[in-house]
Amino acid sequence: MLRVAVIGAGRIGKVHAAAVAAHPQAQLVAVCDPMGTAAEDLAAVHGARVYKDADALFADPEVDAVIIGSPTPLHAPQVLAATRAGKAVLVEKPVAKDVEEARALDAELATFEHPPVMVGFQRRYDPSIRRAKDLIEDGSIGDLEQVVIVARDPAPPPAEYVAVCGGIFKDMTIHDLDEARFFLGEIVEVSAFGQKVLPELADVDDFDAAVVMLRGADGAVATVMNNRRCVTGYDQRLEVHGSAGSAVMDNLRPTALSVNTAEASGSQQPYLDFFLTRYADAYSNELTAFIDAINTGAPVSPTVSDGVAALVLAQAAEESARSGRTVRLDA
């Protein structure tokens, strides 16, 4: 049994804690959060120890791995401290607060031996997205030509959060950018349009919707469509078009029931509207892959380098949206 600690007892920390508690090969041994009683509350649910201080946690020899769900500015330093203490690390996105810090982290990690470090782009472990990837890799739908990623959140975060989140591309689009790389490999060109559509975010200096085109080194093009608000729920779709066919991912609903009335036919319920529900399987599969990497030395995916690459794309998208120019990246 892998002894796992979770840092950060907020929304994403709770998801990871529950996934660890339910996993047959892992046990949740500690929760760390300096704020209020968050750590205590979460630890109590799972019978885990409490740490208010991450360094104390890293010093605990009874912890094999840590999952870092703390605020973004803490990601890079905590990854370094944890790996230096010999812990395996699964760190939430983004891997660092900006490209420079991310690159420095990646470089530093290359200088010493440490257990696996994995970045939390959980969509790579979603069964539908994974199957789409398999269909390309096994040639079922031919050579990859075009990808469409639609990701629209049910409702925007509070304006105060948006104001400090680093911008929509680093905060929200970054998942889509990693997903685009998952299919296209290295990206060589980025062009983005930002939009402001939400009255409640009108005063924040950030886009609340965006469309991004990305060209891969092999010529395939991915398009990302983001919106901070989708009234029907959490709109998460994917189209992968190859030379011999295509794969299309629909949204998930809470039931398999559709309703027919005098007004409409085939009406289903709104989409699952919470990312934890929509990606429950993905988080569980991600944890399994993390454990496998630790136990068997299986390669990690996504790596810190993948985390760096996603940040580079987010920065390029921001630059393109602001400048009106296509940004070219060194492959």
Closer residue to a copy of itself, CB minimum distance, 268 or 305: 268
Paired strand residues for 129 = none
Check if the beta carbon of residue 302 is closer than 8 Å to that of residue 290.
no
Q: Shortest gap between Cβ of 48 and a copy of itself (angstroms)? A: 15
Closer residue to a copy of itself, CB minimum distance, 37 or 258: 258
Closer residue to a copy of itself, CB minimum distance, 158 or 219: 219
Distance CA(104)–CA(82), nearest Å, equals 16
Q: Shortest gap between Cβ of 281 and a copy of itself (angstroms)? A: 9
Closer residue to a copy of itself, CB minimum distance, 116 or 167: 167
What residues contact residue 252 under an 8 Å CB cut-off, 6+ apart? 236, 271, 272, 278
Distance CA(199)–CA(175), nearest Å, equals 25
Q: Report the half-sphere exposure of 31 (CA within 13 A, side-chain side).
A: 27
Q: Shortest gap between Cβ of 34 and a copy of itself (angstroms)? A: 27
**Of the candidates 24, 137, 115, 110, which has an alpha carbon nearest to the alpha carbon of residue 63?**
115
Q: Report the half-sphere exposure of 256 (CA within 13 A, side-chain side).
A: 0
Q: Shortest gap between Cβ of 14 and a copy of itself (angstroms)? A: 13
Distance CA(316)–CA(325), nearest Å, equals 10
Q: Shortest gap between Cβ of 133 and a copy of itself (angstroms)? A: 10
Q: Work out the burial of residue 12: count CB atoms within 10 Å of its CB; fewer than 13 is exposed, 13-18 middle, 19 or more buried.
A: buried
Closer residue to a copy of itself, CB minimum distance, 163 or 231: 231
Helix (H, G, I), strand (E, B) or coil at 29: strand
Pairing mode, strands 26-32 and 235-242: unpaired
Distance CA(96)–CA(71), nearest Å, equals 10
Closer residue to a copy of itself, CB minimum distance, 52 or 131: 131
**Of the candidates 210, 168, 216, 222, which has an alpha carbon nearest to the alpha carbon of residue 189?**
216
Helix (H, G, I), strand (E, B) or coil at 119: strand
Q: Shortest gap between Cβ of 295 and a copy of itself (angstroms)? A: 19
Q: Shortest gap between Cβ of 24 and a copy of itself (angstroms)? A: 8
Q: Shortest gap between Cβ of 211 and a copy of itself (angstroms)? A: 5
